[in-house]
Amino acid sequence: MAKEKKLVQSITARDEDFAQWYTDVVREAKLCDYSGVKGCLNYLPNGYAIWENIQANLDKRFKETGVQNVYLPVLIPESLLQKEKDHIEGFAPEVAWVTKGGEEPLQERFCIRPTSETLFCDVWSKTVQSYRDLPKVWNQWCSVLRWEKTTRPFLRSREFLWQEGHTIHATYEEAEERTLMMRDVYKDFVENDLAIPLVTGKKTPSEKFAGAEDTYTIEALMHDGKALQSGTSHFFGNAFADAYGISYSDKENKLHSVYETSWGLSTRIIGAIIMVHGDDSGLVLPPHIAPVQTRVVPIAQHKEGVLDKANELLAALKAAGYRAEIDDSEKSPGWKFSEQEMLGIPTRIEIGPKDIENGQVVIVRRDTREKIVVALDEIETRLSEILEDIQKALFEKAKAFRDSHIHTATNMDEMKDIAENQIGFIRAMWCGDDACEEAIKDQTGGVTSRCIPEEQEEISNVCVCCGKPAKHMVYWGKAY
Amino acid sequence: MAKEKKLVQSITARDEDFAQWYTDVVREAKLCDYSGVKGCLNYLPNGYAIWENIQANLDKRFKETGVQNVYLPVLIPESLLQKEKDHIEGFAPEVAWVTKGGEEPLQERFCIRPTSETLFCDVWSKTVQSYRDLPKVWNQWCSVLRWEKTTRPFLRSREFLWQEGHTIHATYEEAEERTLMMRDVYKDFVENDLAIPLVTGKKTPSEKFAGAEDTYTIEALMHDGKALQSGTSHFFGNAFADAYGISYSDKENKLHSVYETSWGLSTRIIGAIIMVHGDDSGLVLPPHIAPVQTRVVPIAQHKEGVLDKANELLAALKAAGYRAEIDDSEKSPGWKFSEQEMLGIPTRIEIGPKDIENGQVVIVRRDTREKIVVALDEIETRLSEILEDIQKALFEKAKAFRDSHIHTATNMDEMKDIAENQIGFIRAMWCGDDACEEAIKDQTGGVTSRCIPEEQEEISNVCVCCGKPAKHMVYWGKAY
């Protein structure tokens, strides 16, 4: 019994200490833990299975837009990294350097990729010649390494898993279209499959990616009111093409620079799933990406016929295409329920002697704890409806939370007041000056610009900070 | 026309210069190329797509046996790598060392993983306590790095992609069973999906993995008569468990060491696909793992209705679940045929005005070049039969080749004669002494033991080398 209690007690209440709650959920749901390599994570089976489903789902969407997967080396020669000035300035301070290979010191050192624009450019500079070779729409699933000082599971770690897409195009318009297309793919995926509502838009110059002309972002609101940058799509114009010498000849044999984009989404998004949907009982996974959608829990399983019937049900569910499993361990039903809730499995199916007698089961929703009695011969269709209901309910709940945590500020007093007393996004006008962004950050305890949304609204006609004419309405917030 | 000729001419004949033919196929089929990082490969879309299908196929088989995927760090602290003596001796000379992270020199250097036994052991030493925690049956898909001096595309490169499975068990028997189970999974996959017949067995002590008690291998015969070690499964006994302190308490609370296994298959296997099935026209891909199973080639596509009908056919094939594409470029049919053959696409479907008039198409097999006239309304069922025929024919052809290239030697003169004048495997008896293996290698220009097969046959009762009593029948061969 001591062990059973431990599981239920070991989670901090979410609204008592959000950071501790997060750490507790990650640990108790066995998603990941710190490895012996400082700042690097072990992605454990429960956590990695979520990532596998994210991969499968996103990769399918990528391929529908013509993306081809590749794999380029984990190492980047220093000379190659240095060709694009803004890029090296952005990344050099946080890369790990390989200086010895085998028994020999290296003539040139290599860094472990922090991102791979430079490698993709290197391939293309050697192989792209004519308009017939364009576009290239490539992507790789890999890990990258950035020598971060402070780390948190999924949110910030030295090594993390991600996909990085890189594309080159003949025209400015086509590259810009691809940048926006991938932002839309992310938005569609995150909203529909992860049930996380987003605010999207362009990054301000000070927040954009090192070397990019424009960075588009998807921003999600966590339950503690902080924003999480959840995916980005960058438009580079000709900058990399020129630095790395990627050009093509058109039909008239005239030479042009190519236009480039890149876009990435990482295991950080697992942190968003936890912090948007989780509750005091642990993880809550959206059915679309839950590694297990339902867990069958036999009640009074020692009684004759119960385990047989439960396993029969499991087999039927699997055959119908559900990701299903059974907990036929010797633990008590109460312990089993707690564990299923901690793991965030969207539904459990309770089946005991009385249920069998009545030809029914009880489906319990993870999100609302609602108990739904379902006839055994209807379960295959009913379960899919219930899972879809959960998927929608999670999104609606998160959307209502987000919508009720968007505030508006027209001057710095309001801005400071909201930053101090409220949580969530702040909408406010901005003149376009970096200095005002700095000032806002300083005076509000760390509020930064999250994005300039496409749908602009003129809240006022002056900058919230300096009072000069405003150029943009910006979403601001404290961020992870 | 110059360009069209180039494609066809640029491949060396396979039997004229096998190594050059291999290089040509890899280049012309655009599978991979060398990156700017010496000895590292760029896995290009056509090559990576094969790997993706291998992954999907193998991963499914893994999961059916209870494997869970994880991801552990790319870096290994030197102190961790050094805990198992045989292992560090095997790998230390060929690892790359990270000595600087960000702006700071590191207190302890890290190597980029050459294989991850040490990391898996580290996780388990901290988390496994009771028999309830066992077994652990984990796997990761990742890249590893070994600082090789000479490299060849897919066959040997500094960085390569693979999966590495690692498991721990309560008993010797269960671990041994898992070792053999994974060897069987590889065999089943390679024979049935890659159409490559295998010779399987145990490695001799001198050829086994650094730190392993037993290494089981699957060995394939390439068209030039050399063997390729295509996958290995290792049984470690308690060696790693003891070095890393992984123990569990049983039901009576008594402490025991765990038993460990690991098993891996890499992108090297793509080299085997090329070298077993390829021919003078290029790559030949087995339908089960071909990224594209059929390519529709419209004939006289400028004529009214041809492209419409070809695209209609493509849509129908895709809807029926085939991996299909169309070549509606402006190249000539001859060029299109050559390209489809070079890429190894198992079938092409020719459809022109006359075919449309007759309500038929012509399916051309890549392996035999046989042309099969099929009624348009039967194509969906016929194509799947043809693809299965190709899959079987590729295996049978490779098996006939292998079977006709297994020789038997009963003394060193025969051994040397075969090594000099024949290609393929040599079956010969061995006393079990390392010195005889060395002597055979020296006297035959590099023939090494490939494996001790399960099915033993007493060819003679003395060692082929020293004449002392023989212990095993061994498959020998020159190897990649």
DSSP string, B94-132: G-EEEEEETTEEEEEEEEEPS--HHHHHHHHHHH--BGG
Cβ(B15)–Cβ(B275) below 8 Å: no
B291 upstream amide cis, omega within 30 of 0: no
**Residue from B6, B43, B59, B72 whose CB has the most chain A CBs within 10 Å, to mutate:** B72
The pair of structure tokens assigned to A283 is: 């993880």
Neighbours of B280 (CB within 10 A): 13
CA-nearest residue of chain A to B111? A98
Residue B76 sits at the vertex; the CA angle it makes with B73 and B77, to the nearest 5 degrees, is 135
Q: Which amino acid is at A374?
A: V
pLDDT the model gives residue A9:
54
> Is A120 near chain B, with CB under 8 Å?
no
Residue B117 and residue B84 in contact, taking contact as beta carbons nearer than 8 Å: yes
Q: Which two tokens stand for residue B113?
A: 């993983």
Which residue of B33, B72, B112 is in closest CB contact with A42? Answer: B72
* Cα dihedral B35/B39/B42/B47 (nearest 10): 140
Quote the CA–CA distance of B347 and B333 in Å, as a whole number.
15
Q: Do residues B168 and B124 make contact, with C-beta atoms less than 8 angstroms apart?
A: yes
Could A70 and B42 be called an inter-chain contact, meaning their C-beta atoms sit closer than 8 Å? yes
Which pLDDT tens digits describe chain A residue by residue (480 residues)? Answer: 344 444 445 799 999 999 999 999 999 999 999 988 889 999 999 999 999 999 999 999 999 999 999 999 999 999 998 887 887 888 888 999 999 998 888 999 999 999 999 999 999 999 999 999 999 999 999 999 999 888 999 999 999 999 999 999 999 999 999 999 999 999 999 999 999 999 999 999 999 988 899 999 999 999 999 999 999 999 999 999 999 999 999 999 999 999 999 999 999 999 999 999 999 999 999 999 999 999 999 999 999 999 999 999 999 999 999 999 999 999 999 999 999 999 999 999 999 999 999 999 999 999 999 999 999 999 999 999 999 999 999 999 999 999 999 999 999 999 999 999 999 999 999 999 999 999 999 999 999 999 999 999 999 999 999 999 999 999 999 999
Q: How far is residue B112 CA from its own chain's centroid?
A: 23
Nearest-by-Cβ selection for B159 from A73, A95, A103: A73
Closest residue of chain A to B40, computed from CA coordinates: A73
Q: Is the distance from CB of A196 to CB of A284 less than 8 angstroms? A: no
Give the chain B residue whose CA is nearest to the CA of A47. Answer: B70
| SS3 assignment for A395-444 | HHHHHHHHHCCEEECCCHHHHHHHHHHCCCEEEEEECCCHHHHHHHHHHC
Asked if B100's CB is within 8 angstroms of A44's CB, the reply is: no
ipTM: 0.95
Instruction: Establish if A29 touches chain B: CB-CB under 8 angstroms.
Output: no
Both tokens of A430, joined, read: 């901005």
Cβ neighbours of residue B297 under 8 Å, at least 6 residues apart?
A: B326, B327, B333, B336, B337, B340, B348, B349, B350, B351
Q: Which two tokens stand for residue B410?
A: 């009963």
Nearest to B7 by CA among B29, B39, B31: B29
* Rounded CA separation B474/B432 (Å): 10
| Calpha distance A93→A233 (Å, rounded) | 23
CA B393, B394, B397, B403 dihedral sign is negative
The 10s digit of each residue's pLDDT in B174-210 is 999 999 999 999 999 999 999 999 999 999 999 998 8
- What 3-state DSSP class applies to B384? helix
**Closest-CA residue of chain B to A146:** B102
> Which residues from B are below 8 Å from A41, CB to CB?
73
Chain A (76-115) residues lying within 8 Å, Cβ to Cβ, of chain B: 76-77, 80, 93-103, 110, 112
Amino acid at B16: E
Instruction: Average the pLDDT over B157-174 and give the result.
Output: 97
3-state DSSP assignment of residue B379: helix
Residue numbers in A near B99 (CB within 8 A): 97-100
Which residue from B minimizes the CA distance to A93?
A: B102
In a mutational test of the B interface, the residue from A75, A80, A327 whose CB has the highest number of chain B CBs within 10 Å is: A75
* Residue A218: strand, helix, or coil: strand
Nearest to B101 among A35, A143, A147 (CB): A147
pLDDT at B13: 96
Q: How far is A206 from chain B (nearest CA, A)?
A: 22
Question: What three-state secondary structure class fits B391?
Answer: helix
pLDDT tens-place string over residues B430-475: 999 999 999 999 999 999 999 999 999 999 999 999 999 999 999 9
By C-alpha distance, the chain A residue nearest B49 is: A69
| Cβ <8 Å between A71 and B143 | yes
CA–CA min distance B418, chain A (Å): 37
**Beta strands of B146-192 (E only): which ranges?**
159-169
Judged by CB atoms closer than 8 Å, whether chains meet at B73 and A98 is answered as: no
> Distance (Å, rounded) from C-alpha A198 to C-alpha A272?
11
CB contact under 8 A, A143 and B74: yes
- Please give the domain boundaries of chain B with CATH numbers for all domains: 11-277 (3.30.930.10), 294-386 (3.40.50.800), 406-477 (3.30.110.30)
**R_g of chain B, CA atoms, integer Å:** 25
| DSSP strand pairing (A324-326 vs A294-298) | parallel
Chain A residue closest to B141 (CA)? A142
**Mean per-residue pLDDT over chain B, rounded:** 95
Sign of CA pseudo-dihedral A190, A195, A199, A204: negative
SS3 content of chain B, % helix, strand, coil (to 5): 40, 30, 30
Could you tell me the two tokens for A433? 């000056």
- CB-based contacts of B362: which residues, under 8 Å, 6+ apart? B349, B350, B351, B355, B371, B372, B373, B374
Helix (H) or strand (E) holding A139: strand A136-145
Measured CA to CA in angstroms, residue B190 lies from B141, B185, B323, B403 at distances of 18, 9, 20, 17
Q: Does any CB of chain B come closer than 8 Å to the CB of residue A7?
A: no
Spatial contact of B197 and B402, defined as CB atoms under 8 Å apart: yes
Label residue A360 left, alpha or beta by phi (over 0 means left) and psi (-120 to 50 means alpha).
beta
Instruction: Report which of A167, A278, A206, A99 is spatially closest to residue A434, judged by C-alpha positions.
Output: A206
Whether B43 sits inside 8 A of A138 (CB atoms) is no
Establish if A34 touches chain B: CB-CB under 8 angstroms: no
Angle at B340 between CA B334 and CA B344, to 5 degrees: 145
Neighboring chain A residues of B27 at a CB cutoff of 8 Å: none
Q: How far apart are CA B334 and CA A194, in angstroms?
A: 48
pLDDT at position A5: 45
What mean pLDDT do residues B138-147 have? 97
> Does residue A141 belong to the interface with chain B, where contact is any CB pair within 8 Å?
no
Put simply, the answer to whether A72 touches B35 (Cβ < 8 Å) is yes
Shortest CA distance to B477 belongs to which of B139, B226, B165?
A: B226
Say whether residue B120 is in contact with chain A using an 8 A CB cutoff. Answer: no
pLDDT on residue B104:
81
The tokens of A150 are what?
A: 């402070």
**Which stretches of A170-305 are DSSP H helices?**
172-192, 239-244, 268-277
**According to the 3-state scheme, what is the secondary structure of A40-68?**
CEEECHHHHHHHHHHHHHHHHHHHHCCCE
Which residues in B lie closer than 8 A to residue A37 (C-beta atoms)? 73, 75-77, 110
B36 and A99: CB-CB below 8 Å? no
- pLDDT at residue B7 above 80? no
With contacts defined as CB-CB under 8 Å, which chain A residues touch B68?
45, 48-49
Report the 10 Å Cβ neighbour count for B227: 23
A-chain residue closest to B80, CA distance: A36
Q: Which residues pair with B324 in a beta bridge?
A: B294
Q: Match 């099935």 to its residue by tokens.
A: B277
In order of A291, A298, B130, B468, the CA distances from A330 in angstroms are 23, 11, 16, 58
